[in-house]
Amino acid sequence: KCLAVGDHPQAARANIGAKADVAGTPPALVVTAGYDPLKDEGRDYAARLNAAGVKASHVEYSDLVHDFYLMGDVSPAITAAAKETAAALKAALG
Protein backbone atom coordinates (compact mmCIF):
# COMPACT_ATOMS: atom_id res chain seq x y z
CA LYS A 1 0.00 0.00 0.00
CA CYS A 2 1.29 3.44 -0.93
CA LEU A 3 0.87 6.23 1.57
CA ALA A 4 0.02 9.79 0.62
CA VAL A 5 2.77 12.18 1.70
CA GLY A 6 0.67 13.61 4.52
CA ASP A 7 -0.17 10.11 5.79
CA HIS A 8 3.45 9.03 6.26
CA PRO A 9 4.33 8.58 9.97
CA GLN A 10 7.23 11.04 9.62
CA ALA A 11 5.46 13.57 7.37
CA ALA A 12 5.96 16.42 9.87
CA ARG A 13 9.73 16.11 9.48
CA ALA A 14 9.41 16.85 5.78
CA ASN A 15 6.91 19.68 6.12
CA ILE A 16 8.18 22.05 8.78
CA GLY A 17 5.93 24.74 7.30
CA ALA A 18 2.89 22.88 8.63
CA LYS A 19 4.03 23.45 12.22
CA ALA A 20 1.28 25.47 13.90
CA ASP A 21 3.50 27.82 15.93
CA VAL A 22 6.66 29.01 14.21
CA ALA A 23 7.57 31.61 16.86
CA GLY A 24 11.02 30.95 18.24
CA THR A 25 12.14 29.21 15.06
CA PRO A 26 15.75 30.10 14.18
CA PRO A 27 16.36 32.67 11.42
CA ALA A 28 15.95 31.15 7.98
CA LEU A 29 16.93 31.51 4.38
CA VAL A 30 14.25 29.77 2.33
CA VAL A 31 15.36 29.00 -1.22
CA THR A 32 12.99 27.84 -3.93
CA ALA A 33 13.12 27.42 -7.67
CA GLY A 34 10.66 28.54 -10.32
CA TYR A 35 10.09 24.94 -11.37
CA ASP A 36 9.66 23.65 -7.85
CA PRO A 37 6.52 21.89 -6.62
CA LEU A 38 7.21 23.39 -3.20
CA LYS A 39 7.83 27.00 -4.24
CA ASP A 40 4.52 28.31 -2.93
CA GLU A 41 4.99 26.50 0.38
CA GLY A 42 8.50 27.92 0.70
CA ARG A 43 7.34 31.47 0.00
CA ASP A 44 4.45 31.09 2.44
CA TYR A 45 6.68 29.60 5.12
CA ALA A 46 9.09 32.54 4.95
CA ALA A 47 6.12 34.92 5.23
CA ARG A 48 4.78 33.01 8.26
CA LEU A 49 8.18 33.19 9.93
CA ASN A 50 8.38 36.94 9.36
CA ALA A 51 4.82 37.41 10.64
CA ALA A 52 5.84 35.56 13.82
CA GLY A 53 8.81 37.89 14.31
CA VAL A 54 11.39 35.44 12.99
CA LYS A 55 13.99 36.87 10.64
CA ALA A 56 13.52 35.05 7.35
CA SER A 57 14.38 35.68 3.73
CA HIS A 58 12.96 34.00 0.66
CA VAL A 59 14.91 33.74 -2.56
CA GLU A 60 13.42 32.19 -5.67
CA TYR A 61 15.58 31.22 -8.63
CA SER A 62 12.83 31.43 -11.23
CA ASP A 63 14.71 29.64 -14.02
CA LEU A 64 15.86 26.66 -11.95
CA VAL A 65 14.28 23.33 -10.98
CA HIS A 66 13.59 21.71 -7.62
CA ASP A 67 16.72 20.20 -6.05
CA PHE A 68 19.00 22.26 -8.29
CA TYR A 69 21.81 22.24 -5.71
CA LEU A 70 22.51 18.64 -6.69
CA MET A 71 23.10 19.66 -10.32
CA GLY A 72 26.02 22.06 -9.99
CA ASP A 73 27.84 20.62 -12.98
CA VAL A 74 24.83 21.10 -15.29
CA SER A 75 24.58 24.88 -15.56
CA PRO A 76 26.52 28.02 -14.63
CA ALA A 77 23.22 29.43 -13.28
CA ILE A 78 23.16 26.66 -10.67
CA THR A 79 26.74 27.35 -9.63
CA ALA A 80 25.92 31.07 -9.33
CA ALA A 81 22.81 30.36 -7.21
CA ALA A 82 24.77 28.07 -4.92
CA LYS A 83 27.48 30.70 -4.47
CA GLU A 84 24.89 33.41 -3.76
CA THR A 85 23.08 31.40 -1.13
CA ALA A 86 26.35 30.24 0.44
CA ALA A 87 27.45 33.88 0.71
CA ALA A 88 24.11 34.84 2.30
CA LEU A 89 24.42 32.04 4.86
CA LYS A 90 28.04 32.94 5.60
CA ALA A 91 27.05 36.56 6.18
CA ALA A 92 24.15 35.53 8.43
CA LEU A 93 26.41 33.32 10.53
CA GLY A 94 28.86 36.21 10.88
Contact of 45 with 51, CB cutoff 8 Å:
no
- pLDDT tens digits, 48-88: 999 999 999 999 999 999 999 999 888 999 999 999 999 99
> What DSSP element (H or E) covers 79?
helix 76-93
pLDDT at 22 > cutoff 90:
no
pLDDT tier for residue 42 given thresholds of 50, 70 and 90: very high
pLDDT tier for residue 21 given thresholds of 50, 70 and 90: confident
**What pTM does this model have?**
0.77
